[in-house]
Structure 1
Amino acid sequence: MPIGRADVSPPHWRKSSYSNGSGGACIEVADNLPHTIPVRDSKNPTRTPLLFTPDAWASFVTAVAIGRLAD
Structure 2
Amino acid sequence: MTTLDWKRSSFCGGGGNNCVEVAVNDEDDDIAIRNSTRPEQVIKTSRTAFTAFITQLRTSPPS
TM-score by length of 1: 0.65
Aligned residue pair count: 61
For the aligned residues, what is the CA RMSD?
A: 2.4
Structure 1 SS opposite 2:33:
strand
Letter in 2 for 1:14: K
**Residue 20 of structure 2 aligns with which residue?**
27
Q: Identical aligned pairs, as a percentage?
A: 28
Normalized per residue, the structure richer in strand is 2
Moved over 3 A (4+): 22-25
**Residue 48 of structure 2 aligns with which residue?**
55
TM-score by length of 2: 0.71
Following superposition of structure 1 onto structure 2, how do residues 1-71 of structure 1 map, counting pairs within 5 Å? 8-17=1-10, 19-21=11-13, 23=16, 26-33=19-26, 34-46=28-40, 48-66=41-59, 68=60, 70-71=62-63
